Amino acid sequence: MNLAPTELDPSRQVQSPTLGRDPGRGRLAGRRVLVVGAGQRSIPEENPPIGNGRAISVLFAREGAAVACVDVSREALDGTCGQIDREGGQSIAEVADVRDAAAIGPLVARCAERLGGLDGLVLNVGISRGLPLHKITAETWDDEFAVNLRSHMLFSQAALPLMAPGGSIVLISSIAGLRNSSRNPAYETSKAGQISLARAVAVAGEEKGIRCNAVLPGLMDTPMGRDATRRRPGRAAAVPFGRQGTGWEVAQCCLFLVSHEASYVNAHALVVDGGLSSGVVRPA
């Protein structure tokens, strides 16, 4: 399906939540949420866009949650927690490398203790080397899977026994898990694995009423997205609405899934791509 030229004005599809300008409404009041990958990478731009992890953390705090922010970079964490603090929210910070499998269980337990419990978990951490199949080595493959998939399993495994009944887990996957169009096999395969893992975690959480869902962003205007665009300058040519998505739009979907408003949404893969993976594209 092609969008008509009259529908290509990006401003027609941009609202206040798109830009992270809405005040909180208490949708997560009293909830305690751990966000892994809460910082964002530095890119060579003066005014970089917000990343998914920072947007999720800030939005959840605005909505009344106490947020434990985990990232490999202290500087990135300081940026996220600093924004939450300036807005009057509640956050704690933990520096960790999710490649360290043995550290994940103690980290989750420590965050739950510092928060006074655990109601939600969002796993946003991920890397992409952008290597085509013929350039992948066993080491690069294993490293992407350690970050993108193994860590998600270990965090979920550690969190489930500690989470309060009725809690929620969200895995940030990608539409790359649905299609292999970016010539990035390790990333695509690990993201497909996250979709399946979310369903497995949903099954494991059933006894306690803990839900698990995956969110699949499309082409997003985030620091990671701009890095990808530098590698493939034409990647956004067909993006619906004449624009890429924002980190805030991913965060809004995570907010719904973590909130009690989504109490009957489970084992679902929520695509957030403006319709791109369904064939909605801009005219040539």
pLDDT of residue 241: 85
pLDDT of residue 268: 98
The sign one gets for the Cα dihedral 199, 91, 54, 37 is: negative
Structural domain that includes position 218: 27-130+137-274
pLDDT of residue 6: 41
110 in a structural domain: yes
Task: Quote the CA–CA distance of 225 and 181 in Å, as a whole number.
Answer: 15
13 in a structural domain: no
pLDDT tens-place values along the chain, 284 residues long: 333 444 457 777 888 899 898 889 999 999 999 999 999 988 888 888 999 999 999 999 999 999 999 999 999 999 999 999 999 999 999 999 999 999 999 999 999 999 999 999 999 999 999 899 999 999 999 999 999 999 999 999 999 999 999 999 999 999 999 988 778 999 999 999 999 999 999 999 999 999 999 999 999 999 888 877 777 777 778 888 888 999 999 999 999 999 999 999 999 999 999 999 988 888 76
207 in a structural domain: yes
5 in a structural domain: no
Report how far apart, in Å, the C-alpha atoms of 184 and of each of 68, 96, 127, 149 are: 31, 26, 11, 15
Give rounded-to-5 percent helix, strand, coil for the chain: 45, 15, 40
4 in a structural domain: no
What 3-state DSSP class applies to 254? helix
230 in a structural domain: yes
Report how far apart, in Å, the C-alpha atoms of 90 and of each of 16, 84, 172, 232 are: 23, 7, 23, 39
pLDDT of residue 202: 98
Burial of 88 (0-12, 13-18, 19+ CB in 10 A): exposed
Task: Quote the CA–CA distance of 30 and 215 in Å, as a whole number.
Answer: 24
pLDDT of residue 5: 40
Which residue is associated with the tokens 């705090």?
61
> What residues are annotated to the active site?
187
Task: Quote the CA–CA distance of 215 and 217 in Å, as a whole number.
Answer: 6
Task: Quote the CA–CA distance of 107 and 98 in Å, as a whole number.
Answer: 10
In this structure, the number of other CB atoms found within 10 A of the CB of residue 209 comes to 14
E-strand ranges in the chain read 32-36, 66-71, 90-95, 120-123, 168-172, 211-217, 269-272
pLDDT of residue 284: 67
Report which of 101, 210, 203 is spatially closest to residue 152, judged by C-alpha positions: 101
The sign one gets for the Cα dihedral 206, 208, 211, 212 is: negative
1 in a structural domain: no
pLDDT of residue 239: 86
CATH number of the domain residue 167 falls in: 3.40.50.720
**What total number of domains does the chain contain?**
1
243 in a structural domain: yes
Over the Cα atoms of the chain, what is R_g?
18
CA 14 to chain CA mean position, Å: 20
